[in-house]
Structure 1
Amino acid sequence: MEPKFISISDGIIERIKKGELLPGDKVPSENELISTYKISNTTARKCLLEIESKGWARRIKGKGTFVLNRTVEHQLLRTLGSIDSTRKGFDESLRAEGFTPKTVIIEKIILDDGISSNIMGKHYIIEGPVLKIHQLRYADDILMKDETRYISLKLCPKIDRLPSDISFFKVYEDQYKIKITDIKQTLSVDILDPQQEINNFEIDNQIPVFILDGVVLCQSEKVIEIERSYYRGDKYKFAIIANPEYNSSSFFDLDKK
C-alpha cells in the first residue's frame, strides 16, 4: 500500500501541474495539511519534503514552502491589480519562485519640484520633495525589469534612507501606517532597439518590452507613488484581477507606443 504522505504530496504536485498553484504560491503548510488530511506532524513534514525533493517547491526558512518556477525559459507571471502580489515586492516574489534577485541602482535623487504622470486618462501629481529611484532588477543575473519609482517624501519622510530592494508597499503600510485605497495601472508594449538610450537590457538585438505605468493612492486621492517600469517581453506574462477590498483597478492598453 502506498504511504499516505506520497498520495498527499502527489495530489499537491498535480495541483501545481494543473496551474491551481502557480510559481511563487505558498503550498499548504504543515498545520494546514494536518487539519485537512488528519495526519501527524511527521507525515505532514514528509509531504512537504517529498514535494521539495521532486523539484516542485522550495522551503524558505521562516516563510513557508513555495512553488518553484518550472515554466519554459522561466517566464514570470505577474498579476496586475493584486494587492497581495504588490505587497510581496520584486525580491520576495523571485525568491519564492527559486531565483536569486539582484538590484543595481542607476539613480537615487530627491526632486524638489515634484513629478506628474497621466494614467488611465487622468493627471496625477506628487508635490515635491519626491524621491526618484531608478534601478535595474535581475533574476539569476538576467535583467528582467528596468524600474523607476517616484515616492512622496511628504507622506513618507526619510524613506530615501531605506534600502531600495525592499517591498515599498509593505513599508507604506507597516512603517508609515498609510491605508492604500487604490492602485491604477496601464500596460503597453513596445520594441526597443539596442542603440536606444532608454534600453538597459544588455541585448544586441531588438527586444519586446511591456511598459507599466502605475500610481498608488491613499486617502483623499493623495498620491504616494508613481511608477514607470520596463519588463522584458520574452520573460513575462501578465494577468489581471480586481480586488474589491481596495476597489483597485487595472487597465490594459496593448497598443504599441
Structure 2
Amino acid sequence: MKPKFISISESIIEKIKSGELQPGDKIPSENELIKNFKVSNTTARKSLLEIESKGWAQRIKGKGTFVLNRTEDHHILRTLGSIDSTRRGFNESLRAEGFNPKNIVLEKTILQHGISSEISGKHFIMEGPVLKIHQLRYADDTIIKDEVKYISLKLCPKINMMSTEISYFKVYEDKYRHKITDVKQTLSASILEPDSSDNNFDTSRRLPVFVLDSAVVSQPDKVLEIEKSYYRGDKYKFAIVANPEYKDEEMHHGKEPKKSHNLR
C-alpha cells in the first residue's frame, strides 16, 4: 500500500498533467492538505516536497508552492479571466513558473495631457497628468513582452516614485483603495517586420505577436490604466476561463456579476 503522502502528491500531479492546474497556479497549501485529506502536518509537508522533488512545482518563500512550466516548447500560458494571475503581476507570475524575470525600462515620463484608447468600440479617456512607462519584459534572457502602460497620476499620486516591477493592479487596490469595477481588453494578432520601429524584440526575422489593448476602470467610471503591449507569438499561448471569478460581495448582494477577461 502506498504511503499517504505519495497518494496525495500523485493526485495533485495528475491535476497538473490534465491541465486542471496550469503553470503558475498555486497548489494547495500545507494547511489545505491537512484539512482536505485529514492528515498530519508531517504528511502534508512530505506531499509538497514530493511534488517539488519530481520537478512539477517549486516553493516561493512567503508565497506558496506553484506549478512549474514544463511545456516542451517552453510556451508561457496566460489565461484570460484569471484575476489571481492579474493581481500577482508579471514578474511574480514568471517566477512562479520557474522563469527568471527581468525588466528594462525604455521610457518613464510624465505626460501633462490626457490620453484615450478605443477598445471594443468604446473610448476610454484618462485625464492628465499621466505616467507613461515603456519597458521590455524578459523571461530568462529572452524578451517576451514589449509593454506600454499609461497610469493616472490624478487617481494614483506619486505612483511614479514606485518600482516598475510591482503589480500595479495590486497597488491600485491595496495602496490607493480603488475598487476595480472592470478590465476591458482586446487581443489581436500582427506581424512585426525586423526593421520596423515597433519591433523591440531584437530579432532578425519577421515576428508574429499578440497585441493587447486594455483599460482598467474603477468606481465611479474612472480610468486608472491604459495599456498597449506586444507579446511574442512564438512564446505565448492563451486560454480562456469559462467561469471567471466574481467578487463575493456582488454575489451576496444579489447583483448580476460582471464578466471581465483579465490578462498580465
Residue type at the aligned position of 1:19 = G
Residue 28 of structure 1 and its aligned partner are, at CA, apart by 1.0
**1:60 paired residue number:** 60
**1:25 paired residue number:** 25
Write out per-residue CA displacement over residues 138-188 of structure 1, whole angstroms, 9 at most, x where no aligned residue: 011111100000000000000000000100000000000000000000011
2:24·2:68 contact (CA, 8 Å) conserved in 1? yes
In structure 1, runs of 5+ residues without a counterpart are 252-257
Residue type at the aligned position of 2:190 = D
2:95·2:101 contact (CA, 8 Å) conserved in 1? yes
SS in structure 2 of the partner of residue 220 of structure 1: coil
**1:157 paired residue number:** 157
Write out per-residue CA displacement over residues 78-114 of structure 1, whole angstroms, 9 at most, x where no aligned residue: 1223322211110010011111100000000000011
Measure the CA separation in 1 of the matches of 2:240 and 2:171.
Answer: 24
Measure the CA separation in 1 of the matches of 2:68 and 2:220.
Answer: 40
2:134·2:148 contact (CA, 8 Å) conserved in 1? yes
**2:148 paired residue number:** 148
1:181·1:248 contact (CA, 8 Å) conserved in 2? no
Write out per-residue CA displacement over residues 47-80 of structure 1, whole angstroms, 9 at most, x where no aligned residue: 1111000000000111111100001221111122
Residue 127 of structure 1 and its aligned partner are, at CA, apart by 0.9
In structure 2, runs of 5+ residues without a counterpart are 248-256
Residue 237 of structure 1 and its aligned partner are, at CA, apart by 1.2
2:82·2:261 contact (CA, 8 Å) conserved in 1? no
User: Structure 1 residue 169 and structure 2 residue 180: aligned?
Assistant: no
Measure the CA separation in 1 of the matches of 2:87 and 2:10.
Answer: 30
1:2-13 mapped onto 2 (5 Å cutoff):
2-13=2-13
Residue 4 of structure 1 and its aligned partner are, at CA, apart by 1.5
**2:84 paired residue number:** 84
Measure the CA separation in 2 of the matches of 1:200 and 1:73.
Answer: 22
1:113·1:129 contact (CA, 8 Å) conserved in 2? yes
Measure the CA separation in 2 of the matches of 1:10 and 1:80.
Answer: 28
SS in structure 1 of the partner of residue 220 of structure 2: helix
TM-score, normalised on structure 2? 0.92
SS in structure 1 of the partner of residue 15 of structure 2: helix
Residue type at the aligned position of 2:168 = F
1:38-53 mapped onto 2 (5 Å cutoff):
38-53=38-53
Measure the CA separation in 2 of the matches of 1:154 and 1:42.
Answer: 51
Residue type at the aligned position of 1:230 = Y
1:218-257 mapped onto 2 (5 Å cutoff):
218-241=218-241, 242-245=244-247, 247-250=258-261
Write out per-residue CA displacement over residues 30-57 of structure 1, whole angstroms, 9 at most, x where no aligned residue: 1111111111111111111110000000
Measure the CA separation in 2 of the matches of 1:38 and 1:46.
Answer: 14
Q: How many residues were matched structurally? A: 251
Residue 11 of structure 1 and its aligned partner are, at CA, apart by 1.3
**2:250 paired residue number:** none
SS in structure 1 of the partner of residue 62 of structure 2: coil
Residue 8 of structure 1 and its aligned partner are, at CA, apart by 1.3
Deviant stretches of 4+, over 4 Å? none
Residue type at the aligned position of 1:47 = S
Residue type at the aligned position of 2:260 = S
TM-score, normalised on structure 1? 0.94
User: Structure 1 residue 179 and structure 2 residue 190: aligned?
Assistant: no
Residue 243 of structure 1 and its aligned partner are, at CA, apart by 4.2
Q: What's the RMSD between the two structures over aligned residues?
A: 1.3
Residue type at the aligned position of 2:191 = I
Moved more, 107-116 or 2-11: 2-11
User: Structure 1 residue 95 and structure 2 residue 106: aligned?
Assistant: no
> Percent of aligned pairs with the same residue?
69
